[in-house]
Structure 1
Amino acid sequence: MTDATALVADLAQRARAAARILASLPTAIKAAALRQAAQALRDAEASILAANAHDMATAAATGLSAAMLDRLRLDSARVRAMADGVAAVAGLTDPVGTAIDETTRPNGLVLRRVRVPIGVIGIIFESRPNVTADAAALAVMAGNAVILRGGSEAIGSNRAIHAAIVAGLEGQGVPADAVQLVQTTDRAAVGALLQADGSAGGAAIDLIVPRGGKGLVARVRAEARVPVLAHLDGINHVYVDASADPLMAEAIVRDAKLRRTGVCGAMETLLIDRAYGDAAGLVAALSGAGCEVRLDDGLARLHPDFPRATDADWDTEYLEAIASAGLVDGVDGAIAHIQRHGSNHTDAIVASDASIAERFLAEVDSAIVLWNASTQFADGAEFGLGAEIGISTGRLHARGPVALEGLTTYKWVGYGTGQVRG
């Protein structure tokens, strides 16, 4: 057994013991613990920011991209938002114990499906230190223990955030092992988490949630023996139909791309109906707002001085102020393009024609589809879910923003009066 395997086996064993306690904690205790954890984050702001400043300096020196640096950076506002997010989770409806449905069989046996915690969840993420707080809050409220493995670039920030959260939770009697941080930056620990199905000794991890780039997700898919809740690229599209209101289209396109370029909900590709009245003006407005726009042949005739889009551009998540843009033949062309190049994350249509919009919403098979709204709404808080673990782009268990309900499963509970099958 390697050192990393032994480390993860120990973490999982302790997490399993904590998960048994969490599963039966009353909502009021979990909520009080999260409120205290939120206050502990506010009180620790200075130490968190100092640790983050060190991480930022190291990351910049090693050449981390601008998009990743933006995800890594913390300031007072972001720390306060992190704490507010934890407190908000405390006020959400606790899903544990909720009856999903109930049926009475002809023999009088009552069967009920009831939400229960998943158990032990491993979360592997890059850059974003706020994931430490979001994941801890959601896992605890849903009755799960969580093992967090952040990227090496954020190790100081994650340690400071984790220490504050655990101090707050312990103050209300939640075991410290309910939220554990993998303290080593050795990449072997990631492999050990992915293999922790219980076969190598120690308790099993019940679910792995990766949050990061293509390299991380590819490794998770290739190596995992534990079930995975995947978050793939956010190759998100905005399609502007011929029926779109021009002012609305411009506002949505600019926001979808440029509000925050480094988030997974940012638009990466703009699709414009050939019949739209002012494609040249829409592209010019996006460019004028500070975005490099790479054009297909059709749009390049309108803006010959703009860079051309290559085949690779249509499959690229830029996470910076770059977008690809092309003309399509109506909603059919937009849907076909998204089917070829999309990542099933978030796609939007801007249209005044309701029948066209409804076709788009029905036929685009993404976790989130929007009509006349920016793709930047792809966020658990904006959906009223509080914090989120991530946006699931898969088709099973949970889809879209994964929050409290996404971190539960269910069991069948039967109530009989002496029934036998005989």
Structure 2
Amino acid sequence: MNIKEIKAQFPILSQQVNGHPLVYLDSAATSQKPIQVIEAIDEYYKKMNSNVHRGVHTLGTWATDAYEGAREKVRKFVNAKETAEIIFTRGTTTSLNMVATCYAREFLQEGDEIVTTIMEHHSNFIPWQQAAKVTGATFKFIPLQPDGTVSLEDVKKTITDKTKLVSIAYVSNVTGTIHPIKEIAEIAHAHGAVMCVDAAQGAPHLKVDVQDLDCDFLAFSGHKMAGPTGIGVLYGKRSFLEKMVPYEFGGEMIDFVELYDSTWKELPWKFEGGTPIIAGAVGLGAAIDFLQDIGMDEIERHEKQLVHYAMEQLSAVEGLTIYGPKERSGLVTFNLSDVHPHDLATVLDSYGIAVRAGHHCAQPLMKWLQVSATARASFYIYNTEEDIDALVKGLLKTKEYFGNVFLG
């Protein structure tokens, strides 16, 4: 694939920041949007803006077709059996909270176990922590290896017959660790546990096949995969979704309402109360078209090449500490000695280089790493080796700047 041609389709990347060409290395927080996605949303509002499922007029029909057409694109993208298993949400956080509220809190009890790791994003940590408090279940963690990975032996030791739910990120947003989800799901199921996957960092970068992974739930966000903000997906096997109570009550999700009781629509609509995120779904559908035109295998190959180059170049910077395993997804988390990550990110920004600094919504992992914060450079389909070269030059200039400050 031609990266320069791909990059040209992202209007925001052609601008300058602080007098320098923008080098965007924060796609793990949110990716940029190609013109195709922007135009799809614009076309929806210009030509078919209407509510869905309710009206019989032409605009309502067009909007419904676009909305449900996007659901079918998502189904194919993750290889779900049917569109009934695809729930549109506000994002990964909402999707995981739906599982924690509508499944874990309803079906778990004292003596049961919820298993995760300490490297999870808070969105895949706090919902289970709080569900354990409410139900009396035990909250357990698969231990980490020194490089920030998990071993299947430790998975087998941690998951027991008391384990009722396992929830793990496909890819760590801090270390880039890619977890063996298929194998973990097999272990979980062997003990009768439910398998939930946080794919916020996985779906944008790896080919996702929920049937092959055999996960029971999987969550991801549109805005990290070239789509708009405010739209996400919860995949759930029909057998689980059917027995779960709705997450929100109101319009759109009801079948019949009586004075003292109500019944719900069939899947997936019983989980989509209120006016849904129609434009967001249309934009997500356009993003999926864009990614699949490139090919998820090609995207993974490109990012693997980039991260290998980045690891090689960054490892040569004296005083730089890189966190996580050698083999990883497309991000590198690091610290530069004697420079706070926020100061580092500020200096880099002065050169037009955008990186993330902070605890990355993963405070338990920061504690395990024995740091309060880190800097993170994350890559996507529009990034090049030249972007990494610019980052390295920026880091060297940062070292020079703070060296002069300390000497002065």
TM-score, structure 1 as length reference:
0.26
Higher relative contact order (CA 8 A, sep 6+): 2
